[in-house]
């Protein structure tokens, strides 16, 4: 399914979200205590300053290239922000509902098909699937349409979203992954989409996903990668680099290393993203980025050239939308 940035992030809705986020920063992040962290992916201690945005500093690991906010506010500061900040209620009450059906068709359905096909190649047909940060349960609904006999479960910390998942008939644990002990060791497949870029402690978070899986089961995580074309090109001007929401951008290497650190095997990292080229084109037409002579030439060549270029990015793991998969030893 081919699609454009505007299908899933209409400019006016996205810009309003970014405007509210900017207003939340002085409200929630002024004069808070800050913690220094090592590389959130490989644990490496060597990092160099990479960029500053909205008053936050990001370092880049010299070992694995992962880009991460450092120093970062304490976990408690983020907890309060996610519970009550206007940008977050705008996301759940307005932004996501406005694009949910477009995302169902362009993102969630292809995601189910993609994951099922990857698992089939490894001979895994999961009986119990858990979606961590399940939101309104759209991934689980799409899974159910294709595989009605799978037991589908949601781990979702939001009270209202948990209720939505329950009303759709899914088993729900109203919790974060880090506090989901009662479901440890029960899933054949744990999936978690676009959460890792938000989490305060990536290590604790990934460890908790691995604990939810049975021996022989799989973990699939998707998220933003620093190695992606649009992020590399636009850097601090990238709308994806949006602190305080997005604070971790693992590299392809970083995802791979962190999965291996938690004992997962047969780790595979893919970048099936489709939007990098469109995102950069939009940044050029909005005057956020001027491009250079070569890019202007590429963009003038039209759709087939751009599609081929996006395909090149996918093939060589240079899209900013990344999937990482690994298996727990049996
Ligand atoms: Zn690193």
Q: Judge whether 173 and 183 are in contact, CB under 8 Å.
A: yes
C-alpha span between 75 and 81 (Å, rounded): 10
CA of 203 to the centre of ligand 1 (A): 12
Q: What is the pLDDT of residues 124-177, one digit of tens each?
A: 999 999 999 999 999 999 999 999 999 999 999 989 899 999 999 999 999 999
Is residue 111 very low, low, confident or very high in pLDDT (cuts 50, 70, 90)? very high
Q: Over the chain, what is the mean pLDDT?
A: 96
pLDDT for the residue 291: 86
The pLDDT of residue 320 is above 90:
yes
The rounded Å distance from CA 43 to ligand 1 centre is: 6
How far, in Å, from the CA of 15 to the mean position of ligand 1? 31
Distance 327 CA to ligand 1 centre (A): 22
Q: What is the pLDDT of residues 200-215, one digit of tens each?
A: 999 999 999 999 999 9
- Using 50, 70 and 90 to split pLDDT, how confident is the model at 292? confident
- Whether 3 has a pLDDT exceeding 90, the answer reads no
pTM score: 0.96
Q: Is the CB of residue 35 less than 8 Å from the CB of residue 77?
A: no
CA 318 – ligand 1 centroid, Å: 17
67 Cα: distance to centroid of ligand 1 (angstroms): 8
**Mean pLDDT of the 294-313 span:** 94
| Distance of CA 72 from the midpoint of ligand 1 (Å) | 16
Mean pLDDT value across residues 104-112: 95
Give the per-residue pLDDT at 2.
72
Separation CA 292–CA 285 (nearest Å): 13
Rounded-to-integer distance, Cα 19 and Cα 25, Å:
10
Q: 105 by DSSP, 3-state: which?
A: helix
The answer to whether 261 touches 237, Cβ cutoff 8 Å, is no
- Cα(4) to ligand 1 centroid in Å equals 31
**Residue 1 binned pLDDT confidence (cut-offs 50, 70, 90):** low
Alpha helix stretches (DSSP H) within 30-132: 75-84, 86-90, 96-103, 109-121
CA of 66 to the centre of ligand 1 (A): 5
The Å distance, Cα 297 to ligand 1 centre, comes to 35
Tens digits of per-residue pLDDT, 229-269? 999 999 999 999 999 999 999 999 999 999 999 999 999 99
- Centre of ligand 1 to C-alpha 201, Å, is 14
Please tell me the predicted confidence (pLDDT) of residue 314.
98
Using 50, 70 and 90 to split pLDDT, how confident is the model at 289? very high
User: How far away, in angstroms, is 254 Cα from ligand 1 center?
Assistant: 6
Q: Are strands 128-132 and 187-193 parallel, antiparallel or unpaired?
A: parallel
Region 319-326 average pLDDT: 98
- Among 255, 266, 264, which Cα is nearest to 328's? 264
33-42 mean pLDDT: 97
b/e for 228-254, b at 16 or more Cβ within 10 A? Answer: bbbbebbbeebbbbbbbbbbbbbbbbb
Taking residues 51-77, report their average pLDDT.
98
Distance 103 CA to ligand 1 centre (A): 32
Distance 291 CA to ligand 1 centre (A): 29
Q: How far is the CA of 45 from the centre of ligand 1 (A)?
A: 8
């Amino acid at each position: 399914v081919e699609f454009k940035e505007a299908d899933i992030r209409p400019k006016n809705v996205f810009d309003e979200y970014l405007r509210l986020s900017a207003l939340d920063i002085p409200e929630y992040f002024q004069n808070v205590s800050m913690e220094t962290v090592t590389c959130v992916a490989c644990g490496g201690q060597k990092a160099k300053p990479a960029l500053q945005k909205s008053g936050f500093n990001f370092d880049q690991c010299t070992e694995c290239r992962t880009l991460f906010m450092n120093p970062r506010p304490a976990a408690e500061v983020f907890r309060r922000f996610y519970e009550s900040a206007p940008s977050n209620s705008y996301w759940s009450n307005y932004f996501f509902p406005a694009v949910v059906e477009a995302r169902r068709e362009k993102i969630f359905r292809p995601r189910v098909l993609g994951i099922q096909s990857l698992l089939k190649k490894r001979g895994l047909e999961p009986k119990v699937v858990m979606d961590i940060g399940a939101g309104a349960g759209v991934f689980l609904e799409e899974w159910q349409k294709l595989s009605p006999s799978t037991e589908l479960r949601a781990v979702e910390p939001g009270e209202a979203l948990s209720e939505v998942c329950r009303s759709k008939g899914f088993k729900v644990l109203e919790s974060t992954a880090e506090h989901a002990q009662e479901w440890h060791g029960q899933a054949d497949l744990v999936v978690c989409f676009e959460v890792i870029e938000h989490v305060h402690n990536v290590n604790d978070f990934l460890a908790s996903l691995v604990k939810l899986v049975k021996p022989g089961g799989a973990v699939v995580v998707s998220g933003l990668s620093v190695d992606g074309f649009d992020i590399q090109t636009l850097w601090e001007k990238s709308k994806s680099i949006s602190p305080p929401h997005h604070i971790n951008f693992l590299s392809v290497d970083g995802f791979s290393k962190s999965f291996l650190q938690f004992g997962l095997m047969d780790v595979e990292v893919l970048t099936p993203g489709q939007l990098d080229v469109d995102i950069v084109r939009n940044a050029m037409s909005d005057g956020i980025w001027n491009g250079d002579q070569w890019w202007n030439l590429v963009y003038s060549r039209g759709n087939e050239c751009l599609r081929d270029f996006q395909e090149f990015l996918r093939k060589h793991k240079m899209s900013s939308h990344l999937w990482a998969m690994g298996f727990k030893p049996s």
